[in-house]
Structure 1
Amino acid sequence: MAADSLPPPGLLVDPETLDTLAARDRVLHTAHDLFYRDGIRATGIDRVIAESRVTKVTFYRHFPSKNDLIIQYLQLRHERWMAWFTDALQRHGGAGGAGVSALTETLREWLASPNFRGCAFLNSVSEMGTSLPEAVTLTAQHKDEMRSAIQALLPSSPQRKRTAAALALAVDGAIVQTQFTGDSHEPLRQLKWLGERIVSS
């Protein structure tokens, strides 16, 4: 990986530098790590407050409810993940016939990273269901942007949008399978095999 390339999105909090952040960022970054690593429902507000080293008054000044914090967590995760994803796709070849290979190698970086815990958006919908409609909306927007980035890899054709949608569906399958097996080798192998056939059909 080039020195100036973005690493796969992982955890944000460095305990040694946490206190150098503004209070809102301390809370948000701490919540990001706890929600992604341990789950949204398993992480209570009191834990976020304690680990971000702020008072309850400070917390509620910036985040009136846990739902507000969840939404801002997902927005932050989206920005970080898409920045890495688009950077890595270009780094691995981008468009020009290397689309499936670029996609597979990009995902290999993330799925093999030590802090990988699946897709934050699929996880949030699985945990929250329809109790937080904003999370469902953000998940749909995130997946739309991921699909658009994949579409940009593909050669122009009448089926380009549909092909990108099929590849995005396969990507989600590889993410989920890696999450529950703990091994990305076979999901990525199957993704590449399937992707090459989708693109050539």
Structure 2
Amino acid sequence: MDMQPLSPSELTALPARERILLTAHRLFYREGIRATGIDRVIKEAGVTKVTFYRHFPGKDALILAFLHLRHQRWMQWFTTTLARNCASDTTLAAALANTLQEWFADENFRGCAFINSSLEYAHALPEVLTLSAEHKQAMAQEVARYLPAEQEQMPHARSIALLIDGAIVQAQIAGDARQVSGLLQEMLEVLLVGWQNSETNPCH
């Protein structure tokens, strides 16, 4: 997926602020916010402390910048991948499951950055919850685009998003991308049939 870490040579070629932010993105997502200190970000980004604090007043500012970047990159990937799968799969359930399976199977998958960050840091930085809620709303809005117009699109999309979040957590715990995405597809099909016959929930 389009969130692979850059190579050292690629990172070095970037401006200082971008190096800091991409390094934080990699470390915060892979190892956690609390486990990653500012000194480590500075060292791996190849900048001085003066340079770091010129761009970010402190760790809180870096965390919020990380979440903004993560939202942009993840939504771009999700939107593009879901559209591609919807062009080939017969149902929305299959397209969503296949989209998520691609992410779950990625070697860099560590769950949802927004769920993880909320659990780790929301008590210290309430803005994390605000950004996380906005991210989940954006995901639901993207799903709603594929629901029939005659349905209650956003309420139904939020129900689907709830299943997706459960699948994300399960994939993070169990580590079996195929099994979790298969179960997700089964549950989505049941949900869609409950609203209306699944044949009226195509991707195209």
Shift of 1:100: 1.4
The answer to whether 1:135 aligns with 2:112 is no
Aligned to 1:196: 189
CA distance in structure 1 between the aligned counterparts of 2:77 and 2:189, rounded to whole angstroms: 23
**Number of aligned residue pairs:** 194
The answer to whether 1:40 aligns with 2:33 is yes
Aligned to 1:106: 99
Aligned to 1:93: 86
CA distance in structure 2 between the aligned counterparts of 1:170 and 1:28, rounded to whole angstroms: 31
* Aligned residues of 2:3 and 2:73 also touching (Cα < 8 A): no
* Equivalent of 1:169 in 153, 159, 162: 162
Structure with the bigger RCO (C-alpha within 8 Å, sep 6+) is: 2
The answer to whether 1:179 aligns with 2:172 is yes
CA RMSD across the alignment: 1.6
What TM-score do the two structures reach when normalised by structure 1? 0.92
One-letter amino acid of the counterpart of residue 139, structure 1:
S
The answer to whether 1:63 aligns with 2:56 is yes
Q: Deviations over 1:77-115 (max 9, x none)?
A: 000000010001110015996211111111111110110
What TM-score do the two structures reach when normalised by structure 2? 0.91
Gapped regions of structure 2 (runs ≥ 5): 195-204
CA distance in structure 1 between the aligned counterparts of 2:145 and 2:88, rounded to whole angstroms: 7
CA distance in structure 2 between the aligned counterparts of 1:158 and 1:89, rounded to whole angstroms: 20
Distance 1:17 1:9, change over 3 A: closer
* Equivalent of 2:75 in 78, 82, 91: 82
CA distance in structure 1 between the aligned counterparts of 2:184 and 2:89, rounded to whole angstroms: 19
* Aligned residues of 2:118 and 2:129 also touching (Cα < 8 A): yes
One-letter amino acid of the counterpart of residue 24, structure 2:
A
Shift of 1:18: 1.7
Moved beyond 3 Å, runs of 4+: 94-97
Distance 1:96 1:153, change over 3 A: farther
Percent of pairs with identical residues: 48
SS in 2 for 1:41: coil
The answer to whether 1:126 aligns with 2:119 is yes
Shift of 1:9: 4.1
* Equivalent of 1:29 in 17, 22, 35: 22
CA distance in structure 2 between the aligned counterparts of 1:93 and 1:200, rounded to whole angstroms: 18
One-letter amino acid of the counterpart of residue 99, structure 1:
L
CA distance in structure 2 between the aligned counterparts of 1:61 and 1:188, rounded to whole angstroms: 44
Distance 1:82 1:94, change over 3 A: farther
* Aligned residues of 1:96 and 1:153 also touching (Cα < 8 A): no
One-letter amino acid of the counterpart of residue 56, structure 2:
F
Gapped regions of structure 1 (runs ≥ 5): 1-7
Q: Deviations over 1:29-82 (max 9, x none)?
A: 000000000000000000000000000000000000100000000000000000
